[in-house]
Structure 1
C-alpha cells in the first residue's frame, strides 16, 4: 500500500515539475520564484494525495487482510461497506463470499460430526489404512474386536494382526471378500461367523484401504429361529387339522360307551381324549412362540409394573427402582420375568435367594434375575437360549428361547452366567 501511495505522489510531482517548467519558460519567471512555487505545489500535492488516498489504502488493507484469512480457512471476518464506489462493491462481494464459505464450513463440520457419530455407533467394525498399511481410522467396534477397546490409530496392520486368530489373518491377507469363523472349532455354539469386505479408493492423491468386519452370528441365529417358526406353523396347522376330528370322535365314542355301559371302552376314550387335550396345549405353546407379535412399546412407571409382577410371582427386590419410566411392552416383559422367576424357583433355590434388580445406565437398562440354585454347566449355558433345548424331562425348550425373542424384539440382548456364590444370574439389556 505504501508503494501505491509513493507512485501516486511521484506521478503528481512529475506533473507539477512539468507544469512549472512550461510556466517558467513561457513567462520567464526567475529561478528562485520557480523553486518556491514548485515546493509549495509539491507540498500541496502530497497533502492532497494523502487526503484523497488514505481511505482507499485503509480499505484495500482491510480487503488484503480478509483474503489472507481466507487462505487460513478463517471466514468469520466481514468488511465495512462505505459508499457505492468500486472498492465498496469489492467489500460487498467479499462479505457475500465470506458468509457463503462460513455456512459451507459449518455444514461440512456438522456432517463430519454426524458421520463420526454414525461410524462410532455402528456395529460394523470399520478399519481405514493408508498406503503403508497403517491404521488412520478405527471405530469403536473395530477397537473392541481387535484390541478390546484400546486405541489402534497409527499401528501397522501386521502388528495389529499378530495376536489375532489365524482365520482372521488369512481372511485379511487374501484380499477378497468372504466369511471366516472365530471361536472353538469343536464347539459350534461358541463360534462366531464374520464377513470381511475389502475396499480400495484414492484420497488426497494416496491409495487407501478399507476393511469392514460384520458379525453374522446373530443374524444367522435369527434366520435359524425364523426357519424353526415356519416349521412350527406348518406342523401345528397339520396337527390341529387332525386333532379336531379326533376330539369330536372321542366325544361321540364316550357317549356310545356310556349308552352300552362299556366301562373299559369309556376308559380308553378318556385316555385318548386326555392325550389329545395335552397335545393340543403342547401345540398351542409352540404356536405362541411362532406367532410372537411385535412389542407395543409404551412408557411404563416402575412401581406399577413391579407391583403387578409381584402379585403373580414372589421375588426379592434389590436396590432402588430407576427414576425415569421404562419404554417397553409391559405384557411381554412381564412374561419374560415370570419365565425367569419360575426357572429360578425350579432350580432348587430357596425363595429368599431369588432376587430382581433394575439399574439404569447411561444408554441402557439392565434387569437381573438371580437365584441360589445349582446353576448351569458350560454346555447348558451355550445351548439354553436355543429353541427346543431343555434339561427338564417335561420341558418344551421354549421358555428361555421365548425370553430371548422378546428381548431381541426390543433391540436388546439377554445373557446367562453362573454366580460365584452359587446359582444363576440372567441379565437383560434394553436400550433407553
Structure 2
C-alpha cells in the first residue's frame, strides 16, 4: 500500500477527469469553429463575385465556384476534370501552360492578363494564382477587367493622342499659368513666336502683344468673363517682325493650366487682300467690258450679267435675273441668224459662235456676234454678245458707196456717149414727123418721142449720180411744194383710179431746202405709190412738224413688200417694178441726205407701204 490515500487518489482522478473534460470541451469548440470556418470558406468560395478555380499543377480543374460556371456558361460537372487550356483560344494555351509552370516553380502568387473573345467581343480577364498550403493544387482567382482595361486603354490612347496633337499640331499651342508665365509650348508655337523653347519659357504671352489698347483690355475682360474667347491681334516678334495671329484661349483647360492655340493669319490676310483686289479687278473688268456678258445656269436661268448686256437688251439686270435666257432673247431674223438653236445644242465643255440678228427694240434689226461656252465653272455657262450693227451698216454703206462710185463713173461716160446720138435721133425724128403728112405714122412718132424722153430722163438721173448738183437752200413752204407735186400727178392718179388724201397739220410749214430737189423727191415717191396700185387704191399724204424738223409721210394701201426687200430699197438697179431701174429711190435718198434729213420705209405685206421723210427746219448753212 502506497503512501497515497484513497481520498487523495480519488481527488487526483477527479482533477484528471476535469482536465480531460476541459480538453474535450476545447477540442469540441475547436472542431465547431473549424466546421464554421469551413462553411464560411465554402460560402465565400461559392458566393465570391470573382471566379475561383482549384487547379491541379497540370492545369486540370478540381473545383470551381458559381461565377466560373456563369462565365463559361457551363454546368459545374462539365467543367471539373477538364484542363483549363481547353477553355482558352489556341493562341493562348501555350502561354497558360508557361504560366502554370511559373507558379509551380516560384510558389508565389502571380498575376496575368488573358484577353478572350466571346461572341465576337473581346473580353479581358485578370488571373491571380497561387499554391494551396499542404496541397498539391493551385487556387486561381479570375476577375473580369474588360471595362477597366478598355477604359485604361482609352485613357492611354487619349494621352498618346494628346501628346501627338500637342507636339505635331500645325497650330502653335501654348500652356500658361494664371500669372501669364508660359510653361509649355509645341514646335509650331516656337516657329510662330520666332523663339527657342528656353526663350519662350522665360516670357509671357502679353510680352508679344504689339499694342495693349482698348481692344486688348476689352478682350482680356471678356476672356475672364466667358472663360474662353477667339480673337485676332497684332503681335511683335523678338526679331521686330509683326504678325497678325488668330488665337483661341480656354481657361483651366489642362490640369488647371490655361491653353492658347495660335495660327499665323498674316499670309491668309495677305491672300484675302490679294483675292479681294483680284475679285474687284475681275468685277470691274466684267462690268466695264464692251461686249455684253450673260452668265446662266443649267436650266438657262440668268445668274448675272454686265452693264453692256443691260444696254444691249434694253432692260435692267434686276428685272432679268432668274428669268430664262431663252425668254429674254427675242427670236432671230431667220433660223440661220438665231442664237437659240445654238444654245439648245450645247453640251458639256462645248462652245459655239455665230451671228445673231434680232429686233431688240422691236423697231429695227440689230446684228450681234455671239459666243456660247457651256459649263465653264460649277454648272454655270456664259454667252457674250458684241453689237456689230454699226459695223454692218458701215459695211453696207461702203458697199453702196463703192457701187455709187462705179455707177457714177459709168454714168459720166455712158451719159455723154448716149446724149450725142440721142440729140441727133430726136432731131431727125422731128424732121421726119414734120415731113410726114400721113396720120397713120403719128402714133409711131409719139411712141418714139416718149421712149426717147424716157431715155433722156434716165441719162439725167445718171448724171445726177455722177455729179450731184449744188443744193441751193432757200426758205420754202413745204405744203406748197407738195400741192404742186400732187397737182402735177393728179391726172396719172385719176388714170390709175387712185385717190390722194392730204392731211396737213398747218397750212404753212416752212423749211430751208432746194424746192426743185424736194419736188423731185415727192414726185418719185408719189409716182411709185400710184404705179404699185394697179387696181386702184388710196395714197395718204401727211405733213406735221416737230420742234426741229418737218415730217412728211406718204403712204399707200398696196400689196406691200417683205422686211427683207424693204432693207434693199434704194440700192442701185434694185426695183420691184417690171420697168423700173431702181435709180429713183436712190436719187431721193441722195437728195434727202444732202438736206441733212433721213428717210425711213415701213412696209407690211397685204397692208401697204409708208415713206417717212424728216427734213430739219434750219439747215446748218442757212439759219435765217
Measured against the shorter chain, the TM-score band is 0.3 to 0.5
Q: Structure 2 length normalisation: TM-score?
A: 0.34
| Higher radius of gyration, 1 or 2 | 2
Greater percentage in strand: 2
Greater percentage in helix: 1
Q: Structure 1 length normalisation: TM-score?
A: 0.46
Structure showing greater relative contact order (alpha-carbon pairs closer than 8 Å, 6 or more residues apart): 1
